[in-house]
């Protein structure tokens, strides 16, 4: 972080002193641009928001109407949490273009709670009670966790940002193959062709257009890919025909929250994982928008995450956290306004109140989302590499930190069953490559760059694959 601070100061404070222009993060775009770019954020995150309620609802055995209600409730609460994060109140909200939605880290423990509940009608109230407690405890802990920001130099943040992008890419590859692994057309030439066509359309728009059209290339690519999918029978307009025009997530629709210790402990672990990932995401986003996230910003952002989670069950929603895929959209479009993301949050609220509007996004075929996801998630990884360039990789210590943290972080991606023998609670953390990679980078950075006295032979390396230089060739301490 320290390596980027002077640059960010030059890029933000100097223009403001001469023109009084706001930082790009605080810029308000014209209404049409605000709406279209905000909708683009919704399109990028929609699948991630609706997947957890669909999975948990199916495990409980909810009817189609109840499943639609639960999905709409999660869209509504995601919008509220996004507004809380982007606009902020008091000391709550990072006030960055930061999208919040249902965290996927909670899916496994929530389905485990469902499986262990004899009366399935009690499953959601038990989950909601655990989310409320976890959110409130996280809110109290936010000011303490944020103090760890000084342990996130570029070598750590770059590694974590890269892992965020790499961890998300399998999601895009899964989308590209289709929505159902058990279906006959999963991974078919049609699905892969639609994903590839969408990817090509986005790339062509980015290469041969300029200005506003270039900035909404992903949204235009999703529209074009959806239209292209119609002749192949992949686009399903059924959700639009069956959806109601108006609906409201009635508070505690599924019953008053219940508080069970095992469920609370399980989701408190998820909250810690979620807060760790949100911290990494805020650091990543701060670098991308040229407004590095300091301790105060991270504390405010974590308060918004946790308070949004605690309030979400009131409207039948789940735990909320940062959506890394939208960081990729910010990195690619270079539209850094938090008001654009707040507009996206407004659209999410409207979708929660209008199921028919929500179903319009659901029309976009999963392979089309996958093609656009390759660009979005790859942009996150590229941003991480850009940060690593500033991390001082000419130093042997930093090379080792990056090498090991990346290796640890990709274990859940390359070997999903690697931790199969670990306890279920531990797997919540271990199966998150972002969390394990972040912890590894933090520990290694502390051991190599903070613990004890620095040694001269720890620093310079001309090539990490070459043998260690002879003692006589090593630089002396005075050279540093």
Residue 355 placed within a domain: yes
Residue 61 placed within a domain: yes
Contact (Cβ atoms closer than 8 angstroms) between residue 300 and residue 92: yes
Q: Which two tokens stand for residue 92?
A: 């709550």
Tell me the pLDDT tens digit for each residue of 107-147: 767 877 887 787 888 889 999 999 999 999 999 988 887 77
Residue 422 placed within a domain: no
Sign of the alpha-carbon torsion through 168, 173, 176, 179:
negative
Per-residue pLDDT at 194: 94
Per-residue pLDDT at 100: 87
Q: pTM here?
A: 0.66
Per-residue pLDDT at 149: 63
Percent helix, strand, coil in the chain, to 5, is: 70, 0, 25
Q: Which residue range forms the structural domain that includes residue 65?
A: 26-151+184-368
Tell me the pLDDT tens digit for each residue of 368-411: 988 988 887 787 788 788 878 878 888 888 899 999 999 998 99
Spatial separation of the C-alpha atoms in residues 445 and 439, rounded to whole Å: 10
Burial class (CB in 10 A: 0-12, 13-18, 19+), 250: exposed
Per-residue pLDDT at 458: 54
Residue 193 placed within a domain: yes
pLDDT < 50 positions in the chain:
1-18, 462, 465, 467, 470-480
Residue 324 placed within a domain: yes
Sign of the alpha-carbon torsion through 301, 307, 312, 318:
positive
Per-residue pLDDT at 60: 87
Q: Which two tokens stand for residue 462?
A: 């001309």
Contact (Cβ atoms closer than 8 angstroms) between residue 27 and residue 336: yes
Per-residue pLDDT at 160: 80
Residue 400 placed within a domain: no
Residue 415 placed within a domain: no
Spatial separation of the C-alpha atoms in residues 227 and 269, rounded to whole Å: 42
Residue 232 placed within a domain: yes
Per-residue pLDDT at 171: 78
Per-residue pLDDT at 413: 85
Count the domains in the chain: 1
């Amino acid at each position: 972080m320290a390596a980027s601070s002077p640059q960010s100061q030059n890029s933000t404070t100097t223009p403001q002193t001469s023109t009084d222009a706001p930082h790009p993060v605080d810029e308000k775009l014209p209404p049409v641009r605000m709406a279209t770019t905000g909708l683009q954020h919704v399109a990028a995150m929609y699948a991630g928001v609706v997947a957890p309620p669909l999975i948990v609802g199916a495990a409980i055995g909810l009817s189609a109407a109840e499943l639609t209600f639960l999905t709409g409730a999660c869209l509504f609460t995601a919008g509220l949490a996004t507004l809380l994060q982007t606009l902020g109140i008091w000391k709550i909200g990072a006030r960055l273009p930061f999208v919040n939605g249902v965290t996927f880290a909670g899916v496994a423990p929530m389905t485990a709670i469902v499986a262990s509940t004899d009366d399935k009608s009690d499953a959601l109230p038990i989950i909601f009670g655990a989310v409320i407690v976890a959110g409130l405890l996280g809110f109290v802990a936010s000011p303490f966790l944020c103090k760890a920001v000084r342990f996130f130099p570029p070598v750590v943040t770059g590694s974590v940002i890269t892992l965020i992008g790499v961890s998300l890419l399998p999601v895009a590859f899964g989308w590209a193959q289709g929505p159902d692994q058990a279906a006959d057309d999963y991974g078919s030439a049609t699905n892969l062709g639609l994903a590839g066509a969408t990817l090509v359309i986005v790339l062509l728009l980015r290469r041969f257009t300029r200005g506003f059209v270039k900035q909404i290339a992903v949204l235009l690519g999703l529209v074009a890919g959806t239209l292209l999918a119609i002749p192949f029978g992949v686009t399903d307009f059924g959700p639009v025909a069956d959806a109601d025009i108006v609906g409201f997530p009635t508070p505690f629709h599924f019953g008053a929250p219940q508080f069970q210790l095992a469920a609370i402990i399980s989701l408190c672990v998820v909250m810690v994982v979620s807060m760790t990932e949100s911290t990494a995401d805020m650091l990543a986003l701060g670098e991308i928008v040229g407004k590095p996230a300091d301790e105060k910003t991270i504390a405010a952002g974590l308060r918004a995450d946790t308070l949004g989670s605690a309030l979400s069950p009131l409207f039948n929603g789940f735990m909320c956290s940062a959506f890394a895929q939208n960081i990729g959209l910010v990195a690619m479009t270079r539209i850094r306004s938090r008001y654009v993301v707040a507009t996206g949050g407004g659209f999410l609220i409207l979708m929660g109140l209008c199921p028919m509007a929500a179903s319009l996004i659901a029309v976009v075929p999963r392979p089309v989302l996958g093609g656009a996801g390759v660009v979005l998630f790859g942009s996150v990884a590229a941003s991480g590499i850009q940060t690593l360039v500033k991390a001082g990789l000419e130093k042997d210590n930093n090379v080792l930190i990056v090498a090991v943290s990346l290796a640890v972080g990709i274990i859940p991606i390359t070997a999903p069953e690697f931790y199969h023998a670990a306890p279920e609670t531990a797997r919540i953390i271990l199966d998150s490559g972002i969390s394990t990679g972040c912890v590894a980078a933090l520990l290694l950075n502390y051991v190599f760059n903070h613990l004890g006295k620095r040694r001269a032979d720890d620093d310079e390396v001309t090539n990490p694959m070459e043998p260690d230089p002879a003692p006589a060739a090593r630089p002396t301490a005075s050279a540093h």
